[in-house]
Structure 1
Amino acid sequence: MTSDPLCFTVLGCATPYPTVDNPCSGYLVSGGGTRVWVDAGSGTLAQLQRHARLDELDAIWISHLHADHSADLLTAYYGALYADIELADPIPLYGPPGIADRLAHFLTNTSTRSPVESAFAIEELHDGHEVRVGALTLTSRAVAHGIPAFGLRVEAEGRSLVYSGDTAPCAGLTSLAEGCDVLLCEAESVRAPASGEQVHHTPEEAGDTAREAKAGRLVVTHVGRFLTPQQAVARASTRFDGPIEYAAPGATFSVG
């Protein structure tokens, strides 16, 4: 195990579909020689390979099963089993309840169930789920997105990163983010069009959550297509007076 500091690399953060230069949501979180692929939105597997092969990952963590956060698990399955990757063991995969059957139903085209468990050692998340992966401690809390969804806190050597996933402002996320060094928080601009139910943070609300949680730094991500990154940062800054940055695709951020 190395003493590499906790950091994360933005593989992509577009919503609800990738742009020509920005995949959907995905991050490579690393520290102490441990690497975790956090969310696997469309296009992120390609960018992941700039930094790590599938067989070099220690785990995969999925916040929820919307395609812009999970679709590349399907191609990762084929990569892990049928290409140039030779897994010593299935990759630990932490995700929402039902994730194994969702993958299998999509991948299965005959009466024989696709062997998703041959590629992934699947463990379902629940509110308060905690697991040690190498040098990293991963803690998950249920958040408010209208479907089973989770936020994530990653801790290593006294440093802490919290990722919102997709969620409206909620006590679960604020509690999870309490005193964190970095809050990586979505900053969508609109409510869900079908029902009007709020299932995302606005940039201002991202600032509110960072302030209420006493986060050291805010990194806004998952910025909606009706905003520029600069607008999202400016709007968040009206509610949070700490450092604020945008999760630019390809950028690496140190935590702490």
Structure 2
Amino acid sequence: MASDLLRLTVLGCATPYASVDNPCSGYLVSSGATRVWMDAGSGTLAQLQRHVRLDEVDAIWISHLHADHSADLLTAYYAALYADIRLAAPIPLYGPPGIADRLAHFLTNGSTRSPVESAFAVHELADGHRVRVGALTMTSRAVAHGIPAFAVRVEAEGRSLVYSGDTAPCANLTQLAEECDVLLCEAESAQAPTEGEQVHHTPEDAGGTADVSRAGRLIVTHVGRFLTPDQAVARAAARFNGPVDYAAPGTTFSIG
């Protein structure tokens, strides 16, 4: 059935701040009745509600704790505990080490720590972390972003999606993406740094990662402000012979 397909819906992909028509990084991944909110950048909670209520989400997965990937966890906390949402249990939240304390630091306004764990059942990611969420199997690998950061491979019914999160090209991402159906890969940088640590992909890097990993399809996302989506797609396609698309906000991709 079509509803059993692995699907990726782009809630937003702007960096480093939301634009009027594009929230920051956030995606809804679904298969059958299973729905996972993947990254929660600014503005994505509003777009999530076009597709699913917060209390209907089976889990939240966060790649790293930069605000353009996690800030809407703060408003999700208030929605979960103090509004019209009625949770049967805290929402499983998978994220980098220290995510619960980071949330509590922002949310606590007095001497009593905010009850983060009442809204979220927190599970800290580690390299090789694997979890089954409904119909989805999610495998996380540590990647190279200068802070604790993770990519994820999502699998269902023999189909596979790999999301890079934010990272420089690295072996863990290439291995995770091996022969995946779709690689959703960031293309933040207009050019690689001439000095210092590289922490993002260029479009050419995204194409190269897709090529080396033998991905079936590449979707470029998190395109930097000094690039247009068409430029990012064209530059990635110079390094990858398969289909290349842009993660336009609001678009749903069927995978496999």
- The bucket for the TM-score relative to the shorter chain is over 0.9
The alpha carbon displacement at 1:32 in A equals 2.2
Residues in 2 aligned to 1:82 and 1:203: alpha-carbon distance in whole angstroms = 42
The aligned residue for residue 23 of structure 2 is 23
Q: Point out the more displaced range, 50-59 or 184-193.
A: 184-193
Residues in 1 aligned to 2:132 and 2:212: alpha-carbon distance in whole angstroms = 27
Residues in 2 aligned to 1:234 and 1:63: alpha-carbon distance in whole angstroms = 26
Structure 2: where are the runs of 5+ without partners? none
Residues in 1 aligned to 2:10 and 2:199: alpha-carbon distance in whole angstroms = 22
Structure 1: where are the runs of 5+ without partners? none
The aligned residue for residue 172 of structure 1 is 172
Matched letter for residue 71 of structure 1: A
Aligned length: 255
User: Is structure 2 residue 221 aligned with structure 1 residue 221?
Assistant: yes
The aligned residue for residue 251 of structure 1 is 251
Structure-2 change in CA distance of 1:82 and 1:172 (3 Å): same
The aligned residue for residue 66 of structure 2 is 66
User: Is structure 2 residue 120 aligned with structure 1 residue 120?
Assistant: yes
The alpha carbon displacement at 1:192 in A equals 9.0
Matched letter for residue 7 of structure 1: R
Within a 5 Å distance, the mapping from 1:81-160 to structure 2 comes to 81-160=81-160
The aligned residue for residue 236 of structure 1 is 236
Matched letter for residue 39 of structure 1: D
Aligned-residue Cα RMSD (Å) equals 1.5
Matched letter for residue 162 of structure 2: V
The percentage of counterpart residues that share the same residue type is 83
TM-score, normalised via structure 2 length:
0.97
Specify the SS of the correspondent of 1:223.
coil
The alpha carbon displacement at 1:188 in A equals 1.3
Q: Point out the more displaced range, 184-193 or 89-98.
A: 184-193
Residues in 2 aligned to 1:77 and 1:159: alpha-carbon distance in whole angstroms = 32
Residues in 2 aligned to 1:51 and 1:3: alpha-carbon distance in whole angstroms = 13
The aligned residue for residue 184 of structure 1 is 184
Matched letter for residue 10 of structure 1: V
TM-score, normalised via structure 1 length:
0.97
Structure-2 change in CA distance of 1:192 and 1:76 (3 Å): farther
The alpha carbon displacement at 1:196 in A equals 3.3
The aligned residue for residue 14 of structure 2 is 14
* Post-superposition CA distance 1:46-72 (Å, at most 9, x none): 000000111000000000000000000
Q: Is the 8 A contact 2:141 2:151 kept in 1?
A: yes
Residues in 2 aligned to 1:33 and 1:55: alpha-carbon distance in whole angstroms = 13
The alpha carbon displacement at 1:156 in A equals 0.3
* Post-superposition CA distance 1:65-117 (Å, at most 9, x none): 00000000000000000000000000000000000000001100111000000
Specify the SS of the correspondent of 1:162.
strand
The aligned residue for residue 42 of structure 2 is 42
* Post-superposition CA distance 1:225-251 (Å, at most 9, x none): 000000000000110000000000000
Residues in 2 aligned to 1:39 and 1:247: alpha-carbon distance in whole angstroms = 14
Residues in 2 aligned to 1:136 and 1:235: alpha-carbon distance in whole angstroms = 32
Residues in 2 aligned to 1:191 and 1:107: alpha-carbon distance in whole angstroms = 37
Residues in 1 aligned to 2:3 and 2:207: alpha-carbon distance in whole angstroms = 32
The alpha carbon displacement at 1:4 in A equals 1.7
Matched letter for residue 215 of structure 1: A
Q: Is the 8 A contact 2:25 2:44 kept in 1?
A: yes
* Post-superposition CA distance 1:139-187 (Å, at most 9, x none): 0000000000000000000000000000000000000000100000001
Q: Is the 8 A contact 2:192 2:202 kept in 1?
A: no
Q: Is the 8 A contact 2:6 2:30 kept in 1?
A: yes
Matched letter for residue 233 of structure 1: V
Specify the SS of the correspondent of 1:211.
helix
The aligned residue for residue 56 of structure 1 is 56
User: Is structure 2 residue 168 aligned with structure 1 residue 162?
Assistant: no
